[in-house]
Chain A
Amino acid sequence: MHTKTIAELTQLLRRREVSSRELTEHFLQRIDQRDERYNSFITVTREQALAQAEAADQRLAAGDAPALCGIPIAHKDLFCTAGVRTSCGSKMLDNFIAPYNATVVENLQQSGAVMLGKTNMDEFAMGSSNETSFYGPVKNPWDTNCVPGGSSGGSAAAVAALLTPAATASDTGGSIRQPAALCGLTGFKPTYGRISRWGMIAFASSLDQAGVLTRTAEDAALMLQAMTSFDVKDSTCVDEPVENYSARLNQSVRGLKIGVPKEYFGAGLHPQTAAKVQEAIATYESLGAEIREISLPHTHLGVPVYYVIAPAECSANMSRFDGVRYGYRCDNPQDLTDLYQRSRAEALGEEVKRRILIGTYALSAGYYDAYYHKAQQVRRLIKQDFLDAFTEVDLILGPTSPSPAFPFGDKVADPVAMYLEDTYTIATNLAGLPGLSIPCGLVDDKPVGLQLIGNYFAEAQLLNAAHQFQQATDFHTRIAPGAA
């Protein structure tokens, strides 16, 4: 049952061949028995899950079942869940229970999904290896000596280990796509503003976007459909009509113009990863797509720009965690300054502190123009690169990540090496474009991700291209050893 996709499970549920309760208990049992190996969940919500499953079964029986009725899922632990702890992977919020649901959580609940629990993540979504979590690192089901990627490492590992059919995630610089690549999954980051950020704890507000990790593009379409709605509670949410993401999946990609940016194949890309991406290009060609080499000349500036803008926004977003109203507070504060300093020093991890410091510096008097202002200018150039490219091509294709999953500790001592993990994914966030990662083969028995980037609100087109690739290949059906 756990190897089935959401599309398949939906059919079984509707035909009453399995109940949501059975399905939910099955996944809860797998989490109980197996997650010790991966550490992919921070909180498992057994009771709520079973209650939701029973409610779903009643609706299924009554013939009043919304799209995802009875399907178990997990939420990245930065989506606020009313009455259930939302830790954001931090000691700071270890005791935090929101009195409200994130819009993503609410929408999935409305469509009948059953929440199994909250998944592990890099602290406040800052990291590319899931090594910065207060709740310990998450292990990659393909090789438990390796990282699952980050920051949505818990969501990725949980889906790859077949502990849940799908999990929500968020992507600020690659936090959905890179773990998808490293864990052999389909990971989708929509256009900035497509999905409400209400209730999603902010890292860098102008870059954060909610999305999903699934095993197939078809499942991603079903999940995204349920998650997407215009939300007045998020001023940056765009009131754009929502396409039917499943309707175009089976359309041919014949004649689709796919651009391959030469800058994505330079030094730093693992040669075997490059070879797998080249094979994927050949697959698209055989499906009738037209491949064109393109240039995104400012690609090399993506990481430096990102590491000014994201920490700058983060430095302000993190200020609310001050020990005054909720979250961690140090013992016996002597005065206000002591309360602030020790609460934050004791409850925030090294990577979070590093980014607060970088961001504070970049916004300081005398440095603002040289860093933050300049970075915003370059951000516009990066966006313009994409706009220019989309006058010639429909989609852009490249590697998701420079290399497959790496061992724990490999990049911890060298933050810049860690930041370069997101070289190919970061520009998409800076431009606000939709992007996805799908598996395109294995290198040393570890998955390699293929990235597709679309124009604004081209979600359906991206899903179509991904689904067609998955119809022609079987990489997405491969299961991590020992996970079945």
Chain B
Amino acid sequence: MEWETVIGLEIHVQLSTHTKLFSGASTTFGAAPNSQACAIDLAMPGTLPTANAKAFHYAVMFGLAMNAGIGKRSVFERKNYFYPDLPKGYQTTQLAEPIVGPGVLNIQLADGSHKAVRLHHAHLEEDAGKSMHEDYHGMSAIDLNRAGTPLIEVVTEPDMRSAEEAVAYLKKVHAIITYLGISDGDMSQGSMRCDANVSIRPKGTETLGTRVEIKNINSFRFVEKAIKVEVERQIDLIEEGGKVIQETRLYDSEKNETRSMRSKEVANDYRYFPCPDLLPVILDDDYIEAIRRDLPELPDAKHQRFCNDYGLSDYDAAVLTAERATADYFEAVASESDEPKLAANWVMGELAGYLNRAEISISRSPVSAQHLAALIKRIKDGTVSGKIAKQVFEAMCEGEGDPDSIIETRGLKQVSDTGALEQMVDEVIANNQAQVENYRSADPSKQPKMLGFFVGQIMKASKGQANPQAVNDILLKKLK
């Protein structure tokens, strides 16, 4: 039987506000345990929450960027359950009246096709603390620094049909939050976390299969692998006559398998009800419109502009706008060098290759956009050939400084001086008489190809520094 995969995502995005959602405590990552938990975060008796206005600002930015509705009235509710890293015994979250309503986001797949994924809603909520069960001699330790950090939970409709689509959606959301600057989006630090609801059904049917929730997958690559392996598991199970049960499973990246965590059938009754300590938040049109006016350029708009203004291909523009840092870097190189196509090639080629190998993000690139632009200018004005430029680039990656001084100190400047080149050409002709004879007696239509041999010899003799165009001209003249 042919199966269809159905995927819905729940994405938690940590907002980069300076303070927590309901208290004035700092949200900086990596502080000493419990040093950033105030009386409110500790749920001391008599303390009360006050909502962080910046978190609402960010949530509205997000809703607008996602082409979604904004809840002009949003209500915090209490989600009740006991856990040691949940100090109040309830999580303050939104349910019936979230800040961001339904919407549709278009994603682009690897083959260039587009797909619309519906957003169910996105809501504001507070994060829990962390429980640590190792290193405490059988006891558990609790760090409440993270407790109360603002999150947006993004809940999609089950619109995705493959792991690749799920990853494309996740990357698009990642691009949007980082373009907006409302989150650092760092999945390795938990700033963006993804749960995937996965089910399968016979292709062509409408009814949804029983879904399994895969929890806390912490990289794009693992999202893809986890979904794939879970889909395989479900297919095998059903084809062997078994039944998928509704449950939560954890992805083990080392074994590349999902493992049952807890059955949803004995799920908590969270007893949601509106939080009486917080009033409904009412936003007016002026507030929302002011935020809309101040939105930065978003990935889709930038993509379009890169195609139009720089003449880039749809594919190149998509690659360069996938992350704001890459787009900003490219634009700096393009405008400084005035060579957008060369800039695109270098950013997507040499630079991306180096950064990937070195596992460095573009924002920490050892080669600044200004230096790369300078290098491109040197290619353009003939100071170095494209080939030599790669050597210069490697030196730049090693931190040897700006391209001009590297070209200078390493003596990589292209040789265009006719006298010097003629001498080299004469030597090559003298040393390769047989080839010269062959060339001269060959059919003129085959000569251009044969010329390559002589050019190669000269480039070798000049260590690549001879100006290829000038060499060509001299050779043609001398081999006549």
Contacts and interface: CB of A to CB of B under 8 A. Distances in A.
Interface of A: 78-80, 86, 88, 93, 96, 98-100, 102, 197-202, 204-206, 232-236, 312-313, 315-316, 318-322, 324-326, 336, 340, 360, 363-365, 368, 372
B50 A322 contact: no
Contacts of B42: 325-326
A98 B90 contact: no
Contact of A235 (B43, B269, B277): B277
B47 interface: yes
17 contacts: A79-B46, A98-B44, A100-B44, A199-B47, A202-B277, A234-B50, A316-B80, A316-B89, A318-B89, A320-B88, A322-B84, A324-B142, A325-B42, A326-B42, A360-B271, A363-B272, A365-B269
B277 A201 contact: no
A78 B43 CA distance: 15
Interface string B238-280: 0000000000000000000000000000000101110011110
B78 interface: yes
Contacts of B43: 320, 325
B90 A100 contact: no
Q: Chain A: interface secondary structure?
A: loop
A233 B273 contact: no
Contacts of A319: 80, 82, 88-90
B88 to A, nearest CB: 5
Given A102-B46, A233-B50, A364-B271, 16 more contacts: A79-B46, A80-B46, A98-B46, A198-B47, A202-B277, A205-B277, A232-B50, A236-B277, A316-B271, A320-B88, A320-B89, A322-B89, A324-B142, A326-B44, A363-B272, A364-B269
Contact of B273 (A86, A318, A363): A363
Contacts of A363: 80, 271-273
B291 interface: no
Interface in B1-51: 39, 42-51
B80 to A, nearest CB: 6
B190 interface: no
Interface of B: 39, 42-51, 78, 80, 82, 84, 87-90, 140, 142, 269, 271-273, 276-279
Contact of B39 (A88, A99, A364): A99
Q: Closest 4 interchain pairs by CB?
A: A319-B89, A206-B276, A205-B276, A363-B271
A365 B276 CA distance: 19
A316 B39 contact: no
Nearest to A197: B48
Contacts of A206: 276
Nearest to B89: A319
B189 to A, nearest CB: 26
Nearest to B140: A336
B273 A312 contact: yes
Nearest to B24: A233
B50 A235 contact: yes
Contact of B45 (A234, A320, A336, A365): A320
A234 B48 contact: yes
A315 B42 CA distance: 18
Contacts of B45: 80, 86, 88, 93, 96, 98, 201-202, 320-321
A278 B46 CA distance: 40
A87 to B, nearest CB: 10
Given A235-B279, A319-B80, A200 B46 contact: yes
Contacts of A79: 46
A221 B46 CA distance: 25
Nearest to B86: A319
A5 to B, nearest CB: 30
A307 B471 CA distance: 97
A105 to B, nearest CB: 10
A100 B23 CA distance: 15
Contacts of B84: 322, 324, 336
Contacts of A88: 45
Contacts of B78: 316
Nearest to A99: B39
A232 B53 CA distance: 13
Which of A96, A102, A315, A318 has the most B CB atoms < 10 Å from its CB? A315
Contacts of A202: 45-46, 277
Given A99-B39, A235-B51, A322 B82 contact: yes
Contacts of B87: 320, 324-325
B166 to A, nearest CB: 30
Contacts of A96: 45
Contacts of A365: 269, 271
Given A100-B39, A205-B276, A312-B273, A198 B89 contact: no
Contacts of A234: 48, 50
Contacts of B39: 98-100
Nearest to B45: A201
Contacts of A80: 45-46
B137 to A, nearest CB: 15
A112 to B, nearest CB: 23
Which of A86, A93, A98 has the most B CB atoms < 10 Å from its CB? A98
Contacts of B82: 319, 322, 340
Nearest to B131: A336
Nearest to A344: B82
B439 to A, nearest CB: 87
A80 B88 CA distance: 17
A29 to B, nearest CB: 31
A316 B270 CA distance: 11
A197 B45 CA distance: 11
A236 B80 contact: no
A232 B48 CA distance: 10
Contacts of A201: 45-46
Contacts of B140: 336
Nearest to A313: B276
A418 to B, nearest CB: 24
A85 to B, nearest CB: 12
A363 B271 CA distance: 5
Contacts of A235: 48-51, 277-279
Contacts of A368: 271, 273
Contacts of B269: 364-365
A427 B185 CA distance: 49
Contacts of B89: 316, 318-320, 322
Nearest to A361: B271
Given A322-B82, A325-B43, A368-B273, A316 B90 contact: yes
Contacts of A326: 42, 44
B81 to A, nearest CB: 9
A414 B271 CA distance: 28
Contacts of B273: 312-313, 316, 363, 368, 372
Which of A98, A99, A316 has the most B CB atoms < 10 Å from its CB? A316
Contact of A198 (B46, B271, B276): B46
B89 to A, nearest CB: 2
Which of B42, B51, B84, B279 has the most A CB atoms < 10 Å from its CB? B84
Contacts of B49: 235
Nearest to B43: A320
A322 B82 CA distance: 8
Contacts of A200: 46
Which of A322, A360, A368 has the most B CB atoms < 10 Å from its CB? A322
Contacts of B48: 197-198, 233-235
Contacts of B279: 235-236
Nearest to A373: B273
Nearest to A93: B45
A43 to B, nearest CB: 16
Contacts of B80: 315-316, 319, 363
Contacts of B142: 324
Nearest to B49: A235
A8 B104 CA distance: 70
